[in-house]
């Protein structure tokens, strides 16, 4: 069986993913392109004696690389032009033929073996556009196949055309597919082997390309007078209305949030108890039945099992959120939402699209970090992910609720609301500082096409959600589980070497907690309240674990009569002020390990570490400043010292960031002057994943 | 001469040239059909007043006013 290497390229929103799914089924591999967090999907199918390996390239309107352009265009261009690909499958939106054929022109000029898949034939027909497919094929000089990908019509013909073309391509060195009527070919000799680099040269060709397209269209396309108002236009009159636009946006976001939280919330306890029963309880029973030593039970059941439990508990929330996010994306509303709020996010130096991950963050930070992928530019994505963990997630809410019950009997809701606002303010502060230092610049330019509305397809929804979950479980899991094992082991081993399964008062972790508690004394945690410190450490696993740890340790300390969680809290913390300082810290400190794992997958490691350190610093600074200011009259001298110290440290960190950033700017400038453009250098490093897998 | 940000809804205009600005932005738009001598119509303005949606060659495009000001246009 011969292998054919094929690439799928086309404009955004022309049904590329639908076609890819229809061609390859569920046999897909989703990964990242080397070096960048842009999804690389590969799939395969068999046609006759050929095995076709298809790579789904990012959607793009042009293959010309621009220096500050989006990296996905550069990626598509490089992939097509610098690897020997047997067939390029160019999917074209039949209802927007003029714009779509621009990409086809660029491909044909390079004498790339192209099969044009004319998708959305039904939409074109409904709009009164009649396309003579054979004539179009003759004019373009390459096979053209009419297609309705979502109805799976035309797939067989398409597969045949691909195999046939690659056959011809193999048989003769000079390709069969010779652009017959392409005048532009004379304009440029298709000699350059690499991606189009000369910007002005490529841009100068744009008018002649469009002229040619118009000639071709005049010969092959018949446009009946089109119905005045299509369904999308009609809907947009309401959805993008100047009065209703924002209320509709808020309603949709509320619905997304309510549905996802409700759905996730209902399923979560089942996932939690089931996974605990299997991986923690079940495993330890089996192991003890086999007379395994205690350390073995502890390591596997309580360490590994607990890690699995932590991860599995997040599945319902992530799953439902992504189900709804994909539905919004697929229906065409997401682009409209970005259109509606773009101005508002402009104040934060971010495009409108960045608001959706932020809102998702209030539910759970993990899918929020993962959904930042929809942003095209690296800078926007980084900024969004770094601001995200300050959004107070629902796990943090459970902690607030218990503390509010203990300390703020009246007006607890105001305290909780204030915490949410502080989180948002800190996110904005972080964004502001980063924009002034490392991530300088304006929001990336907006060029957006609002896709036509359509009903989301179940298959797309499920497949996309599954791919996200798969990424979370098998990639993020690699970080989550070991950290859980590590912390659980520390929690169970006593300093004298014995093992206690309950995670008691004398564990290594507790001792460590007692040892570092003085660090937290400026924010009101007394040495006797060391369980609060240990809670912060275990809270790294998942923020709600703080409560479980406090409960266990307060009970284990023994000198408290067991009288309910709230009473214990009230005795241990320094009144409402101490409690609020602690809550501030819980809100702002280290993102939970699952969020960190997601961040590691989406960003450079350096940025993830920066985020963790930055959040720790902000949390400590905010909690200490608040506590000292609130208890000012108890000890004015030391309070002034602490507050001044915090402000000085904060200011010097900002100055240091500015200095480092400007040094980095100089370096970047220097490399720009001496070397080739950055974007191109980056692109040249991309390996063709298929070649590695396929032919080695 | 008018600017992109001066256009009202349903107003038509013709692209004349580019007045500098972010070249890669202009090139991207050229690839999408925003070429000299092309006539376009403003379809709508976003609720908060900034991005506008235009109809060009029977296809739509959303642009920010400030960024699109790099096009020199004339009303028609």
Interval A362-397: pLDDT, tens: 888 888 998 888 887 778 888 999 999 999 888 888
Do the chains contact at A447 and B48, CB–CB below 8 Å? no
Give me the pLDDT at residue B18, please.
Answer: 76
Residue B66 belongs to domain with CATH number: 2.30.30.90
Q: Give ∠ CA A503-A505-A509 in degrees, rounded to 5.
A: 65
Number of structural domains found in chain B: 1
Determine the Cα–Cα distance for residues A401 and A409; give it in Å rounded to an integer: 11
H helical segments located in A603-635? 605-630
Does residue A603 share a domain with residue A543? yes
8 Å CB contact between A268 and B73: no
Does residue A428 share a domain with residue A362? yes
Does residue A449 share a domain with residue A570? yes
Q: A236 pLDDT band (50/70/90 cuts)?
A: confident
On the question of pLDDT at A358 being above 60, the answer is yes
ipTM above 0.90, yes or no: yes
B28 near A CB under 8 A: yes
Does residue A146 share a domain with residue A267? no
| Alpha-carbon separation of residue A489 from A25, A274, A533, A554 (angstroms) | 43, 22, 17, 20
Q: Is residue A102 part of a domain?
A: yes
Beta partners for residue A54, in sequence order: A6, A43
Do the chains contact at B60 and A245, CB–CB below 8 Å? no
Does residue A489 share a domain with residue A410? yes
A241-282 pLDDT, tens digit each: 888 889 999 999 888 878 877 877 788 888 888 988 888 888
On the question of pLDDT at A679 being above 50, the answer is no
Q: Which domain holds residue A280?
A: 246-631
Side-chain-side CA neighbours of residue A497 (13 Å): 0
Determine the Cα–Cα distance for residues A189 and A110; give it in Å rounded to an integer: 8
Do the chains contact at B59 and A96, CB–CB below 8 Å? yes
On the question of pLDDT at A565 being above 80, the answer is no
The terminus-to-terminus CA distance of chain A in angstroms comes to 15
Give me the pLDDT at residue A230, please.
Answer: 74
H helical segments located in A181-244? 184-187, 199-220, 231-239
Determine the Cα–Cα distance for residues A407 and A528; give it in Å rounded to an integer: 19
Does residue A261 share a domain with residue A182? no
Q: Which residues of A touch B31 (CB under 8 A)?
A: 61-62, 64, 102, 203, 206
Residues of A with a Cβ under 8 Å from any B Cβ are: 61-62, 64, 66-69, 96, 98-99, 102, 199, 202-203, 206-207, 210, 236, 240-243, 245-246, 339-344, 346, 352, 445-450
Q: What is the mean pLDDT of residues A89-99?
A: 88
Residue A79 backbone phi and psi in degrees, to 5: -60, -40
Residue A140 belongs to domain with CATH number: 3.40.50.300
A29-47 pLDDT, tens digit each: 776 666 566 777 888 888 8
Number of structural domains found in chain A: 2
Determine the Cα–Cα distance for residues A39 and A60; give it in Å rounded to an integer: 14
A440-498 pLDDT, tens digit each: 766 678 888 888 888 888 888 888 888 888 888 887 888 888 888 888 888 888 877 77
Q: Which domain holds residue B56?
A: 4-75
A39-47 and A28-32 beta bridge pairing? antiparallel
Determine the Cα–Cα distance for residues A309 and A302; give it in Å rounded to an integer: 10
> Which positions ≥6 away from A244 have C-beta within 8 Å?
A238
Does residue A272 share a domain with residue A189? no
More confident position, A176 or A642:
A642
Does residue A274 share a domain with residue A208? no
Do the chains contact at B59 and A98, CB–CB below 8 Å? yes
Mutate to test the interface with A, among B10, B32, B46, B59 (most CBs of A within 10 A): B46
Does residue A177 share a domain with residue A268? no
> Which positions ≥6 away from A522 have C-beta within 8 Å?
A624, A627, A628, A642
Give me the pLDDT at residue A174, please.
Answer: 43
Do the chains contact at B47 and A445, CB–CB below 8 Å? no
């Amino acid at each position: 069986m011969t292998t054919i290497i094929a690439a799928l390229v086309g404009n955004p929103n022309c049904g590329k993913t639908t076609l890819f799914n229809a061609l390859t089924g569920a046999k897909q591999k989703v990964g990242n392109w080397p070096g960048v967090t842009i999804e690389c999907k590969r799939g395969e199918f068999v046609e006759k004696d050929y095995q076709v390996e298809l790579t789904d390239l990012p959607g793009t309107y042009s293959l010309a690389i621009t220096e500050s352009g989006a990296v996905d265009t550069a990626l598509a261009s490089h992939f097509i032009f610098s690897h020997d690909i047997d067939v390029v499958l160019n999917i074209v939106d039949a209802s927007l033929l003029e714009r779509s054929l621009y990409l086809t022109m660029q491909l044909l000029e390079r004498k790339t073996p192209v099969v044009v898949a004319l998708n959305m034939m039904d939409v074109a027909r409904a709009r009164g556009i009649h396309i003579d497919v054979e004539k179009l094929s003759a004019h373009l000089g390459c096979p053209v196949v009419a297609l309705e990908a979502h109805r799976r019509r035309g797939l067989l013909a398409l597969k045949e055309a691909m195999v046939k073309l690659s056959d011809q391509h193999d048989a003769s060195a000079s390709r069969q597919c010779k652009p017959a009527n392409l005048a532009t070919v004379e304009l440029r000799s298709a000699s350059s082997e690499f991606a189009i680099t000369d910007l002005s040269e490529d841009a100068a060709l744009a008018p002649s390309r469009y002229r040619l397209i118009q000639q071709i269209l005049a010969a092959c396309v018949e446009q009946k007078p089109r119905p005045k108002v299509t369904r999308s236009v009609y809907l947009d009159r309401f959805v993008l209305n100047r009065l209703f636009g924002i209320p509709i946006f808020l309603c949709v976001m509320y619905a997304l949030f309510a549905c996802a939280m409700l759905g996730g919330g209902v399923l979560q306890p089942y996932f939690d108890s089931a996974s605990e029963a299997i991986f923690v309880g079940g495993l330890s029973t089996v192991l003890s039945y086999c007379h395994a030593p205690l350390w073995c039970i502890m390591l596997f059941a309580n360490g590994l099992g607990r890690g699995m439990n932590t991860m599995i508990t997040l599945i319902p929330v992530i799953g439902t959120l992504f189900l709804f996010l994909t539905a919004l994306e697929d229906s065409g509303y997401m682009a409209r939402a970005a259109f509606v709020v773009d101005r508002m996010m402009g104040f934060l130096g971010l495009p409108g699209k960045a608001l959706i991950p932020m809102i998702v963050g209030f539910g759970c930070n993990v899918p929020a970090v993962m959904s930042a992928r929809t942003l095209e530019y690296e800078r926007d994505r980084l900024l969004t992910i770094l601001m995200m963990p300050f959004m107070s997630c629902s796990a943090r809410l459970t902690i607030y609720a218990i503390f509010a019950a203990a300390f703020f009997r009246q007006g607890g809701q105001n305290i909780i609301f204030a915490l949410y606002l502080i989180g948002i303010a800190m996110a904005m502060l972080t964004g502001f500082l980063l924009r002034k230092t490392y991530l300088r610049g304006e929001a990336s330019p907006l060029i957006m096409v609002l896709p036509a509305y359509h009903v989301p397809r179940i298959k797309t929804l499920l497949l996309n959600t599954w791919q996200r979950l798969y990424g979370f479980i098998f990639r993020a899991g690699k970080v989550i589980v070991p950290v859980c094992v590590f912390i659980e082991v520390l929690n169970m081993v006593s300093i004298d070497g014995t093992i206690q399964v309950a995670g008691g008062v004398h564990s290594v972790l507790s001792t460590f907690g007692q040892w570092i508690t003085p660090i937290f004394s400026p924010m009101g945690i007394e040495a006797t309240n060391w369980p609060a410190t240990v809670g912060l450490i275990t809270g790294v696993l998942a923020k709600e674990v703080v409560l479980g740890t406090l409960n266990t340790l307060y009970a284990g300390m023994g000198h408290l009569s067991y009288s309910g969680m709230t009473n214990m809290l009230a005795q241990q913390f320094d009144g409402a002020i101490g409690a609020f300082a602690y809550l501030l810290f819980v809100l702002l400190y280290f993102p939970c390990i699952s969020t960190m794992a997601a961040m590691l997958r989406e960003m450079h490691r350096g940025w993830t570490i920066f985020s963790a350190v930055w959040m720790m610093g902000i949390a400590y600074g905010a909690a200490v400043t608040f506590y000292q200011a609130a208890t000012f009259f108890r000890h004015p001298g030391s309070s002034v010292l602490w507050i001044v110290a915090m402000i000085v440290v904060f200011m010097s960190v900002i100055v240091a960031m500015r200095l480092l950033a400007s040094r980095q700017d100089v370096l970047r400038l220097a490399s720009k002057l001496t070397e080739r453009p950055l974007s191109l250098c980056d692109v040249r490093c991309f390996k063709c994943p298929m070649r590695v897998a396929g032919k080695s | 001469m008018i600017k992109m940000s001066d256009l009202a809804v349903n107003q038509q205009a013709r692209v004349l040239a580019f007045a500098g600005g972010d070249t890669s932005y202009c090139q991207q738009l050229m690839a999408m059909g925003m070429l000299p001598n092309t006539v376009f119509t403003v379809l709508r303005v976003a609720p908060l007043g900034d991005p506008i949606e235009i109809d060009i060659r029977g296809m739509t495009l959303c642009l920010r006013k400030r960024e699109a000001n790099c096009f020199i246009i004339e009303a028609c």
